Amino acid sequence: MDPIAHRLVELNHNTPFTDANLAPGQPLMIRTPAGYQPADDEPLDAQAIETFLALPGMAGEGWRERMQNNGGSWGFARTTRTSRLRISLYETGGEKHTLRVAIRRLPLHAPDFEDIGLPSHITNVVEQGRGLFLITGPTGAGKSTTLASLLERINRSHALHIQTIEEPIEYVFKPNKSVISQVEVPVNVDSFEHGVHAALRHRPDIIAIGKMRDRQTVSAALQAASSGHFVLGTLHTASVDETVDAVLQFFDGQESEQKRMLLASALIGIISQTLLPDVRGEKLVLAHELMLMTPGIANLIRQNKIQQLSGAIEEGRSSGMCTLNDSLNRLVREGRVSKTAAFRAAYTREGLNL
């Protein structure tokens, strides 16, 4: 067996890593809840990495051409007996064109809703059946896992048509009560925007968008949510108010005002999340900020008073909303994360009672 593949198989069975990085001149690096660490002493060489990528069932022979056709990077996913691997190829080093490989390790199946620490009030969002729900956080915050967990919960309990649009397909769903179709960008459609428009012709009840990263996709998502579909999407934003700002900043002029009105009427909630190491450094724990739509919050968005959303979340605690610091305080109080980890995760010290 290829030595890199063999080592990854060993780690996949024996080590609780979430990410792995391959780069010439460096040992294989893995990320555990305690941070990055070398998995071996010996550095990798470029030829060994290229041989690993060319393996059947890995990137295959045409991976360099795919990178060039995709602007210098390319991502795909592969399934092992125990995990789903999301693999990204990219170059660094300027004119040296140093190849690097980033591997994200995911569970083979979407975890249960409760097991990843999602707040129970999100179930109310799922039951609404229409509107826009956003899952946000920085890279590595578990957004894809949260999205998959919500979809699997729906799959088990509702007889609906779910369509996902992903790049690449991460968790592979087996239909239970629902019909599920998974579309991959750019394999099945050339963009997320076109994927949303195409999905509308298939009469889905739920559309899940893996990445909402451009104006066209956000606009398509808003239109789909406003037309009676339940749309779930992810964004790389760190907080609720930053998320609303980011959505609206895709548009300017008169269109900005129109989309703000549309967002106020279509949005049903936002969860912004991050992952922290637990007190033993053995696993990652989810902390979150949750906003659920109310008439008052809708008015704040219509009036462009985005800076007041945090206060509205605090006032909505009795209905299940919480700030990130509420979540961090609870995790520290329960002895699940350290005060140091909570301080690092907080984006403001106000309301952090440690």
Confidence of residue 7 (pLDDT cuts 50, 70, 90): very high
Indicate whether 76 and 144 sit together in one domain.
no
pLDDT for the residue 178: 97
Q: Which two tokens stand for residue 108?
A: 């083979």
Domain count, the chain: 2
In a domain, 352, yes or no: no
Q: Mean per-residue pLDDT for 65-88? A: 89
Please report, as a single letter, which amino acid is at residue 299. Answer: N
| Model pLDDT, residue 168 | 92
pLDDT at 347: 86
pLDDT (tens digit, 9 = 90+) per residue, 298-320?
999 999 999 999 999 999 999 99
Q: Are residue 36 and residue 66 in the same domain, yes or no?
A: yes
Shared domain check, 141 and 31:
no
What pLDDT does 71 receive? 82
Helix axes 215-226, 192-200, angle to 10 degrees: 20
Same domain, 8 and 100: yes
Pick the last residue of a domain from 107, 137, 162. Answer: 107
Structure tokens at 102: 């980033």
Task: Answer whether residue 13 shows pLDDT above 90.
Answer: no
Question: Looking at the structure, do residues 44 and 153 belong to the same domain, yes or no?
Answer: no
Query: Are 146 and 46 part of one and the same domain?
Result: no
Question: Is the pLDDT score of 96 beyond 90?
Answer: no
Does residue 83 carry a pLDDT above 80? yes
- Which pLDDT score, from 0 to 100, does residue 82 have? 85
pLDDT digit string (tens) for 129-178? 899 999 999 999 999 999 999 999 999 999 999 999 999 999 999 999 99
**129 plus 258 within the same structural domain:** yes
pTM of this structure: 0.92
Task: Identify which has the larger pLDDT, 120 or 221.
Answer: 221
pLDDT, tens only, 234-279? 999 999 999 999 999 999 888 999 999 999 999 999 999 999 999 9
- 352: confidence class by pLDDT, cuts 50, 70, 90: confident
* DSSP string across 319-340: GT-B-HHHHHHHHHHTTSS-HH
CA–CA separation, 200 and 60 (whole Å): 34
Residue 64, domain extent: 3-107
pLDDT at 129: 84
Q: How far is the CA of 141 from the CAs of 41, 134, 261, 274, 277, in angstroms?
A: 29, 14, 29, 5, 12
45-54 pLDDT per residue, tens: 999 999 999 9
Residue 61 pLDDT? 80
Pick from 107, 125, 144: which residue ends a domain? 107
CATH code for the domain of 336: 3.40.50.300
Give 175-193 pLDDT, tens digit per residue. Answer: 999 999 999 998 999 999 9
Sign of the torsion angle spanned by Cα atoms 180, 184, 189, 194: positive
Report the DSSP pairing between strands 179-184 and 267-277: unpaired
Asked if residue 354 is part of any domain, the answer here is no
Q: Are residues 136 and 210 in the same domain?
A: yes
Q: Do 199 and 285 belong to one domain?
A: yes
Confidence check: pLDDT of 208 > 90: yes
pLDDT value of position 311: 96
Residues 84 and 224 placed together within one structural domain of the fold: no
> In the prediction, which pLDDT does 342 show?
95
One domain, residues 193 and 265: yes
How high is the pLDDT of residue 60?
83
Asked if 140 and 102 sit in the same domain, the reply is no
The percentage of residues in the chain with a pLDDT greater than 90, rounded to a whole number, is: 77
β-strands 19-22, 29-32 pairing: antiparallel
Domain of 42: which CATH number? 3.30.450.90
